[in-house]
Amino acid sequence: MTQTNTPIDACAGIIKSKISGEVPKYALVLGSGLGELAEQIEVETEISYDDLPGFPIPTVEGHHGSMLIGTLMGTPIICLQGRAHLYEGHSVEKIITPIRTLKTVGVENLILTNAAGSLDAENGSGSLVLINDQINFSGINPLVGPNDERFGPRFSDMSFAYDPDLRKAISEVAKAEGIKLPEGVYIMVKGPSFETPAEIRAFRTLGANVVGMSTVPECIIANHAGMKVLGISSVTNLAAGMSGNALSHAETLEEGKNAAKNLSKLLKSYFAKISS
């Protein structure tokens, strides 16, 4: 089924009208507590999600609702400061719209970042984990419903959900910078309650290394649309039952700040490399 005149076309039109130079091929979605990464961007234009029809207005502390257009170490980039989560009660449409809008604007590479709990004791809070695959435990698939052929096929491949070339490139940068970047599988739960220790044990058996409440639907939509995805989790806590402590969003935000510093350094070096 072909759909036209969606909010996606309107949003893409608004964004394109504000880009004076080269259309960015990279977009970056910032996860909880990773907002400071945006400070690294030389911003040319900021667009509030309020002005982009169909974009989600975030309701969670640690998430802004604005799009930054500019450059990062000389590379044109679009940065989404804030995303919709299913646990906020947002419809799947609110997750789809920003990603398909980026595709329509001309973005080819999508960097998804998130705050996550780690299932591996050796990757404690402050660590970064390069996502090499995902497990959709959210209970939803954002492609359910009529397929929009403009973006991709009815049945889309997820064999290389997190692009091997992008992973190799960022791993090389991490190595050169002395930043630890282990790879791992991200499992998404819908939330908003954190997991039980029994769930975490089950997820470990399933092969998960990090757990969070975002990223998976965005990755599915991006793959469907033929975009390359790079995913990085910043570990804010050891998953439930691993540390003996209760989990809290405040801790997530606080610990996220440490990982955000490493993530800033990593992405700055990556973009410096590709623009040279």
Residues that bind ligand HPA (CB under 6 A): 115-117, 194-195, 211-213, 236-237, 239, 247, 252
- Relative to beta strand 228-238, strand 109-118 is parallel
Closer residue to ligand HPA, CB minimum distance, 66 or 118? 118
- Please name the residues in contact with 205: beta carbons below 8 A apart, sequence gap of 6 or more: none
- CA triple 63-116-192, angle to 5 deg: 65
**224 has catalytic annotation:** no
Q: Which residue is nearest to ligand HPA (CB)?
A: 117
Task: Catalytic residue, from 115, 208, 225, 259: name it.
Answer: 115
Closer residue to ligand HPA, CB minimum distance, 81 or 237? 237
- Measured from the CB of residue 149, what is the shortest distance to ligand HPA in angstroms? 34
Task: Catalytic residue, from 125, 209, 214, 223: name it.
Answer: 214
Give backbone dihedrals phi and psi of 187, rounded to 5 degrees, phi first.
Answer: -110, 135
- Measured from the CB of residue 173, what is the shortest distance to ligand HPA in angstroms? 25
**195 has catalytic annotation:** no
Amino acid identity for residue 74 in this structure: G
**149 has catalytic annotation:** no
| Residue at token pair 């033929």 | 226
**What tokens were used for 22?**
């080269």
**213 has catalytic annotation:** yes
**49 has catalytic annotation:** no
**85 has catalytic annotation:** yes
CB atoms within 10 A of CB 50: 10
**63 has catalytic annotation:** yes
Closer residue to ligand HPA, CB minimum distance, 243 or 275? 243
Task: Catalytic residue, from 49, 63, 138, 240: name it.
Answer: 63
* Rounded Cα–Cα distance for residues 201 and 206 (Å): 9
Task: Catalytic residue, from 188, 213, 225, 227: name it.
Answer: 213
* Rounded Cα–Cα distance for residues 74 and 22 (Å): 11
Q: Tell me the catalytic residues.
A: 32, 63, 85, 87-88, 115, 213-214, 237, 249
